[in-house]
Amino acid sequence: MAIAVPSGFRLAGVHCGIKSNPAKLDLTLIVSDAPAVAAGVYTQNKVFAAPVGWNRRHTPSRAIRAIVVNSGNANACTGPRGDEDAATMAKLAAAAVGAAPAEALVLSTGVIGKFLPMDKIAAGITAAAGQLGRDEAHLLDAARGMLTTDTRHKLAGRRLKLTAREVQLTGMAKGAAMIGPNMATMLSVLLTDAVLDEQTAQHALAQAVDDSFNCISVDGHMSTNDTVLLVASGVAGGGALAADDLAAFRAALGEVCAELAQAIPADGEGATHLVTIDVAGAASRAAAHKIARTVAESPLVKTAIAGADPNWGRVVSAVGYSGVPLDAAAISLKINGHLLYQRGAPVAFDAATVSASIRDQRDTHLEIQLADGDGRVRFWTTDLTAEYVRLNADYHT
């Protein structure tokens, strides 16, 4: 699962002083050596950050040269000044590579409701522009410059051997809380040297996001800043991807997005379990998604998993109140492969064994089987611990 900088891109991550700790990077600059195709998918929150508004106006595009990301300050709920600051960030990043402001995209994450320290941002962009590179260290610094409460950086990649060429796809993401679908990653940037047009890139990204970043939830709270970008330099050459090659690229994009998406709840604030929820047999995919999300966001389900309690009643009742029409007498449930509930009734199981299977490993698997159709989905969430409550009670707003 190769993780490398795709051809045509250079990156840097620096500390510019948004965060008080000088050891924590807080600004990332990604540059395309030539105009690149870019597509974006964004939060559906009606209250959205200024950078989201800027990027929506400038994607899809075939002329992107720079992406600037700051962490520690979300530039959200900051009114006209926030819009001006986002535009200034784009102007500064573009100027660093000799481009126009419309050829730069902007991402911000962190505390809501504070104005950006633009003098520090400007100095950071200048510093990052002087440190651009394409080796592993530059990639890691770029990934770290996006982080806020994350405990680790998040990277994923694939090297694809297509019919007449090889292409690289590499993604980075950040997110640990304020995670709820539509979208559900705080930020992610996916880079590739494949040849894509704007429409193909947008369609492929939207599908990949639907099956990945829109299938995670830590707390059900939709962020103001959620952004996923796909940027294609086209340096691999060979012209537009033919049908089989495009299918292979789309599959790899889905895999990378799913890997990054899963890494977010795996790094959930205070979480002790990553919970994978598989729903099958629903009337449609949308029905399966709604059921999975309802289970994922149930505080009682989440606390039961935190306590290693195989409380099938909480899961089954969450399925029932999801609002999805279903045959309740056909519901079955497995936890970590153990059958607890079958066709609408409990079955005998060894509670101590199932409890140990939850307690003794970080991964927990819920399998919900219905009999209403062919709809299925995979969804990821976390447990809910006292540490999550402490972290978010203490978090500065």
Residue by residue, DSSP assigns 147-161 as -SS-SS-EEEEEEEE
Query: Is residue 250 within 8 Å of residue 354, measured between CB atoms?
Result: no
Indicate whether 158 and 81 sit together in one domain.
yes
- 362 domain residue, yes or no: yes
CATH at residue 292? 3.10.20.340
Indicate whether 191 and 152 sit together in one domain.
yes
Alpha-carbon gap, residue 140 to 194, rounded angstroms:
22
Bond preceding residue 80 cis, omega within 30 of 0 = no
Indicate whether 34 and 143 sit together in one domain.
yes
- 1 domain residue, yes or no: no
The size of the chain, in residues, is: 397
Alpha-carbon gap, residue 156 to 158, rounded angstroms:
7
From 193, 189, 164, 159, select the one nearest 174 (Cα to Cα). Answer: 189
- The amino acid occupying position 71 is S
- 196 domain residue, yes or no: yes
pLDDT of 184 reads 44
> How many whole angstroms from its chain centre is CA 240?
27
185 is catalytic: yes
List, in order, residues 6 or more apart from 321 with CB less than 8 Å away.
294
Full pLDDT tens readout for the chain, 397 residues: 478 999 999 999 999 999 999 999 999 999 999 999 999 999 888 889 999 999 999 999 999 999 999 999 999 999 999 999 999 999 999 999 999 999 999 999 998 999 999 999 999 999 999 999 999 999 999 999 999 888 899 999 999 999 989 999 999 999 875 555 554 446 999 999 999 999 999 999 999 999 999 898 876 666 677 899 999 999 999 899 999 999 999 999 999 999 999 998 888 777 899 999 999 999 999 999 999 999 999 999 999 999 999 999 999 999 999 999 999 999 999 999 999 999 999 999 999 999 999 999 999 999 999 999 999 999 999 998 888 778 777 765 4
Among residues 199, 232, 266, which one ends one of the domains? 266
Indicate whether 222 and 80 sit together in one domain.
yes
pLDDT of 179 reads 54
> How many whole angstroms from its chain centre is CA 274?
15
- 54 domain residue, yes or no: yes
Structural tokens at position 189: 């940037």
Strand-pair partners of 336: none
Indicate whether 38 and 91 sit together in one domain.
yes
Range of the domain at 50: 9-266
- 113 domain residue, yes or no: yes
pLDDT of 397 reads 46
- 306 domain residue, yes or no: yes
Among residues 216, 234, 266, which one ends one of the domains? 266
List, in order, residues 6 or more apart from 337 with CB less than 8 Å away.
357, 365, 367
Indicate whether 99 and 217 sit together in one domain.
yes
- 281 domain residue, yes or no: yes
pLDDT of 389 reads 79
Indicate whether 290 and 231 sit together in one domain.
no
Alpha-carbon gap, residue 348 to 340, rounded angstroms:
7
Indicate whether 298 and 197 sit together in one domain.
no
Backbone angles phi, psi at 119, to 5 degrees: -65, -40
- 62 domain residue, yes or no: yes
Among residues 213, 234, 266, which one ends one of the domains? 266
Indicate whether 352 and 387 sit together in one domain.
yes
pLDDT of 393 reads 75
From 222, 232, 244, select the one nearest 43 (Cα to Cα). Answer: 222
From 259, 186, 169, 170, select the one nearest 228 (Cα to Cα). Answer: 186
3 state DSSP class of 243? helix
Alpha-carbon gap, residue 349 to 207, rounded angstroms:
39
Indicate whether 106 and 253 sit together in one domain.
yes
Indicate whether 328 and 216 sit together in one domain.
no
Please give the tally of structural domains in the chain. 2
Indicate whether 252 and 285 sit together in one domain.
no
pLDDT of 182 reads 55
Which position among 59, 78, 149, 185 bears the catalytic label?
185
CATH at residue 240? 3.60.70.12
